[in-house]
Structure 1
């Protein structure tokens, strides 16, 4: 009740604070402030004395204080300013909540736009999550954020936080190096990185995020269509890779054709130059990825692929043995020419050195010998 009601309140306090209110201005008159006998600051609150729009004192510990006998700097400052005051509108007491505010929901109202760092196509992405925060510097927060309004709601600080995280969030996705398919499994890492970045923005304003989480992401329709096209091309690439016997050069040519196809599709896109940019980025990114895949087909170690003479698995031409069945690679074995004794590849019909046929006969029984045989399997005679 005001002074005009016949009596004045003697206790300065925030009665029944709403859970949605962060800062509340005490509604007592100037005379009530001058004649108050007690100050009650509940746990999780702080009191602020403002004179002529400037913060003059902050009381940030809880308790019930007898103002006539207690020697507290907060009340000493108030008493000094209130001596001979002329207008009750010059002085105000504000209460502010300094507890931690948990699980505040946030989300991007519209998709954020950036270029996928791996596949080089435009991405539209919505992100959602929650954060927790608390006031770390009452004076700074009141001065920089809240000003002297009679009520400052939690929803207002939530909007400020969301508005100021959009640019760092966009930069984070663009610079992280993670493609669209990796974002979900990297959410914890991305959340921590963004929380660290936001600390540089919010701490100077008097508050900090004690927790920040990206809980879900959702691509816009245009991005989903691009992802579907890339998935189809990747499936084709995997099918070709599974063949195993396709020459790597042919595979790289296939990747080049796919890049050109993306460019052609973009050029015919009604979106004009924007469509060309999309095609170019996606085509180049996809082509590079497919080329990388084609350069390392299953079982490939660096040379031309040939089939194993036994199990038909694709093996490197220079391999000595098949990695699947252990059969020696006959194309990589060397034997002596039956005529000039020079070292030549096994199964050669004519010697590349002397031109002699590689059909040998036993010098004793004249039976046909296999190439490189040192003893006759019929009579046991030496043929070295």
Structure 2
């Protein structure tokens, strides 16, 4: 007799739980009245029949079908269960956590840009978050046809729409095509909203979307970097520091390259400033000997930094001529 009872009883649980699985569907011919269901932390269990939800259990624990589940279903939905037969339902176990997924463009996206007739090729990468939101839609659109659903399935669907959405929101929010990172927050917010609408019908909700970085082709990135360096010319001290750092790093501190150009520019500017100063009628330098007649140069011929009569340049260590 005990053997017969065990044959009619079974344990319903999500045994092969995976962190990347959104839901798993248990289905059998019928749920026996002597069975029990185990709901683990981070899971919801949904009883449904013919696509119609009969009850949702959100508290983890161990439930007896006869004493816990059936009375609840009968009270909530008027669900009738014959004690002489099994209950014909399916049970969907849903992973309730928020999933975080990395994404990246497989091919460069050609963003329209006035400076480039063929468009500006851009790659991007980042992360997005989503979770199960609407169980009715989840069963209607996905679980009714699938026994399980993985994060990879959602990623494939989202990445398929990303190229068009990136193009849309970069064009709308990318005020500077060569510095898109400055507008990454606005671009991300727009894409998240559109992706949420894309998944809404499936019962999933996109809770976050981030663009971590934009990248350009090497030749365009080089021009962007060079352009940023040229803008420093407006701030002579800052430009000088960058130029000297680049020169020292490359071993080129005398002539040629950025450091050599910077030294030449500094020397020329110092000479020009001295000439202008000497031309002023009230200049204190007017009656003083010129720089060529002094014992030491008043600026370094290598880096252009002024000195106070030292034998060596305090900036680069160049020996000063007498």
Normalised TM-score (structure 1): 0.50
Q: 1:85 to 1:19 in 2, by over 3 A?
A: same
- Residue number in structure 2 paired with 1:162: 159
Asked whether 1:20 is paired with 2:20, we answer yes
Asked whether 1:105 is paired with 2:124, we answer no
Is the 1:99–1:134 Cα contact (8 Å) retained in structure 2? Answer: yes
**Quick one: distance in 2 between partners of 1:240 and 1:111?**
33
**Quick one: distance in 2 between partners of 1:140 and 1:196?**
19
**Quick one: distance in 1 between partners of 2:74 and 2:57?**
10
**Quick one: distance in 2 between partners of 1:194 and 1:148?**
29
- Residue number in structure 2 paired with 1:151: 148
Partner SS, residue 152 of structure 1: strand
Residue 132 of structure 1 and its aligned partner are, at CA, apart by: 1.5
- Residue number in structure 1 paired with 2:172: 175
- Residue number in structure 2 paired with 1:92: 90
- Residue number in structure 2 paired with 1:115: 112
**Quick one: distance in 1 between partners of 2:4 and 2:93?**
24
Residue 74 of structure 1 and its aligned partner are, at CA, apart by: 7.7
Runs of 4+ in 1 over 4 A off after TM superposition: 3-6, 74-79, 81-86, 117-121, 224-232, 237-242
Residues 1-384 of structure 1: pairs in structure 2 closer than 5 A: 7-26=7-26, 29-31=28-30, 33-52=31-50, 54-62=51-59, 63-70=61-68, 71-73=71-73, 80=80, 91-101=89-99, 103-116=100-113, 122-219=119-216, 221=217, 224-225=218-219, 311=276
Deviation sequence 1:203-262 (CA, Å, 0-9, x none): 34322222211112223x4xx546667887x69x979999xxxxxxxxxxxxxxxxxxxx
- Larger mean Cα displacement after TM superposition, 117-126 or 156-165: 117-126
**Quick one: distance in 1 between partners of 2:77 and 2:25?**
18
Residue 58 of structure 1 and its aligned partner are, at CA, apart by: 4.2
Partner SS, residue 166 of structure 1: helix
Q: 1:177 to 1:164 in 2, by over 3 A?
A: closer
Partner SS, residue 174 of structure 1: helix
Is the 1:47–1:94 Cα contact (8 Å) retained in structure 2? Answer: yes
**Quick one: distance in 2 between partners of 1:238 and 1:157?**
44
Deviation sequence 1:309-361 (CA, Å, 0-9, x none): x959xxxxxxxxxxxx9xxxxxxxxxxxxxxxxxxxxxxxxxxxxxxxxxxxx
**Quick one: distance in 2 between partners of 1:7 and 1:131?**
46
Deviation sequence 1:8-44 (CA, Å, 0-9, x none): 44332212412222211225x324x133432322222
**Quick one: distance in 1 between partners of 2:10 and 2:160?**
42
Q: 1:241 to 1:64 in 2, by over 3 A?
A: closer
- Residue number in structure 2 paired with 1:305: none
Is the 1:118–1:177 Cα contact (8 Å) retained in structure 2? Answer: no
Partner SS, residue 167 of structure 2: helix
Residue 162 of structure 1 and its aligned partner are, at CA, apart by: 2.0
Residue 115 of structure 1 and its aligned partner are, at CA, apart by: 0.4
Is the 1:49–1:78 Cα contact (8 Å) retained in structure 2? Answer: no
The number of residues matched between the two structures is 236
